[in-house]
């Protein structure tokens, strides 16, 4: 091939290549794409405005026509309040997708951070209610009042209830202190722990006080814990030392476990692994528990408010 023909061939190839590129869809600038992704996610997930969202560079995915990105949700000043979700974004930048993958390899009880937590009810019960609780949260107090005593007594011996600490410290200034005091009691007595939880959930306004002085709330909580310790004949020196130390490490570990589960509000509870966030009407809560019992081959106890079944003779009329 002559030098001129080679030059012409190279020019033709360059023109073809340039033509192919001209026909491909224009790529959106990264800043524009990330802004659109963030807007879509905030709208879809109703992300609180105080949370920041950062988006990773794209990486190859196993789905043709899509790349993978990692979206990080973080609360400034609170490094333990961070969560990451994986998304797919189309190569043309027009479509955002998220495919949910569920791990069903483990029993739900082993996924939840309940090891060592005080149990209320029959330890061998086949239905477990795990509640992520905030001792200052009024909605948690309402949930607690529905669970105890009515729901608990209705299913006596058939359920066990476990509370996991999830104080929303940004909203509730004495919730963390209450959780620590409760755990100090739990270290010595399950009964003292539950008595403390019962009292705090029914006396939240008294603990806050009319002036909402946090230091006074701390003092009131410590006195309540001390009273429970005396009532149950606990080791006073050990309890007082624990309360004075205010070690938050155990509570923060449970909060981190809750964050990994995507929990962001209280109460959030699980009935044999089935999640519900918020207060639930007692009748609907019973439906969840009854379903869990039936899955375990257990007939739920009859509801006292339900009408008695008609007899054969009555049905004949």
Q: 283: how many CB neighbours lie within 10 A of its CB?
A: 9
Distance (Å, whole) CA 282 – CA 246: 35
pLDDT at 306 over 70: no
Q: 145: how many CB neighbours lie within 10 A of its CB?
A: 15
Which pLDDT tens digit goes with each residue over 173-192? 999 999 999 999 999 999 99
Query: Contact, 177 vs 218, CB < 8 A?
Result: yes
Query: Contact, 165 vs 254, CB < 8 A?
Result: yes
Q: Which residues of 106-127 are buried (b: 16+ CB within 10 A; e: fewer)?
A: eeeeebbbbeebbbbbeeebeb
Distance (Å, whole) CA 234 – CA 190: 11
Of residues 317 and 165, which shows the higher confidence score? 165
163 alpha carbon, distance to own chain's centre: 13
- pLDDT mean over 283-302: 95
* Residue 103 pLDDT level (bands cut at 50, 70, 90): low
β-partners of residue 78 are: 75
β-partners of residue 74 are: 52, 82
Chain position carrying tokens 């190839």: 13
The CATH code of domain 108-295 reads 3.40.30.10
In three-state form (DSSP H/G/I as H, E/B as E, the rest C), the secondary structure along the chain is CCHHHHHHHHHHHHHHHHHHHHHCCCCCCHHHHHHHHHHHHHHHHCCCCCCEEEECCCEECCCCCEEEEEEEEEECCEEEEEEEEEEEEECCCCCEECCCCCCCCCCHHHHCCCCCCCEEECCCCCEEEEEEECCCCHHHHHHHHHHHHHHHHHCCCCEEEEEEECCCCCCCCCHHHHHHHHHHHHCCCHHHHHHHHHHHHHCHHHHHCCCCCHHHHHHHHHHHHHHHHHHCCCCHHHHHHHHHHCCCHHHHHHHHHHHHCCCCCCCEEEECCEEEECCCCHHHHHHHHHHHHHHCCCCCCCCCCCCCCCCHHHHHC
Domain positions in the chain are 30-97, 108-295
Q: 52: how many CB neighbours lie within 10 A of its CB?
A: 13
- Residue 13: phi and psi, rounded to 5, are -60, -40
Distance (Å, whole) CA 180 – CA 115: 17
pLDDT at 313 over 60: no
Q: What is the mean pLDDT of the chain?
A: 86
pLDDT at 291 over 80: yes
β-partners of residue 268 are: 132, 277
Query: Contact, 172 vs 136, CB < 8 A?
Result: yes
Which pLDDT tens digit goes with each residue over 149-170? 999 999 999 999 999 999 999 9
Question: C-alpha distances in angstroms, 2 versus 7, 9, 10, 16?
Answer: 9, 10, 12, 21
Distance (Å, whole) CA 29 – CA 50: 26
Which pLDDT tens digit goes with each residue over 43-84? 888 888 889 999 999 999 989 999 999 999 999 998 888 899
pLDDT at 13 over 60: no
Q: Which residues of 16-51 are buried (b: 16+ CB within 10 A; e: fewer)?
A: eeeeeeeeeeeeeeeeebbeebbeebeeeeebeeeb
Of the listed ranges 37-41, 190-194, 217-221, 246-250, the least confidently predicted one is 37-41
């Amino acid at each position: 091939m002559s030098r001129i023909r080679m030059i012409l061939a190279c020019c033709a190839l360059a023109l073809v290549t340039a033509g192919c590129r001209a026909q491909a869809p224009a790529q959106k600038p990264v800043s524009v794409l990330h802004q659109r992704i963030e807007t879509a996610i905030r709208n879809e997930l109703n992300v609180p405005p105080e949370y920041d969202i950062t988006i990773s560079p794209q990486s190859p995915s196993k789905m043709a026509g899509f790349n993978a990105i990692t979206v990080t949700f973080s609360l400034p000043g609170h490094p333990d309040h961070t969560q990451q979700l994986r998304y797919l974004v189309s190569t043309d930048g027009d479509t955002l997708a998220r495919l949910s993958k569920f791990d069903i390899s483990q029993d739900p009880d082993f996924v939840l951070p309940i090891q060592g937590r005080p149990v209320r009810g029959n330890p061998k019960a086949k239905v477990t209610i795990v509640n992520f609780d905030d001792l200052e949260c009024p909605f948690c107090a309402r949930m607690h009042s529905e669970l105890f005593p009515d729901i608990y007594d209705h299913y006596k011996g058939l359920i066990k209830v476990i509370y996991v600490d999830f104080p929303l410290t940004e909203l509730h200034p004495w919730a963390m202190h209450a959780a620590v005091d409760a755990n100090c009691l739990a270290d010595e007595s399950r009964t003292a722990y539950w008595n403390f939880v019962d009292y705090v959930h029914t006396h939240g306004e008294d603990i806050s006080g009319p002036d909402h002085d946090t230091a006074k709330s701390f003092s009131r909580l410590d006195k309540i814990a001390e009273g429970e310790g005396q009532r149950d004949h606990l080791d006073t020196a050990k309890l007082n030392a624990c309360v004075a130390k205010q070690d938050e490490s155990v509570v923060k570990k449970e909060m981190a476990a809750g964050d990994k589960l995507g929990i962001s509000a209280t109460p959030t509870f699980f009935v044999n692994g089935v999640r519900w966030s918020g207060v639930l009407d007692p009748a609907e809560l019973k439906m969840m528990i009854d379903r869990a019992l039936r899955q375990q081959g257990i007939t739920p106890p009859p509801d006292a408010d339900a009408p008695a079944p008609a007899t054969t003779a009555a049905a004949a009329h």
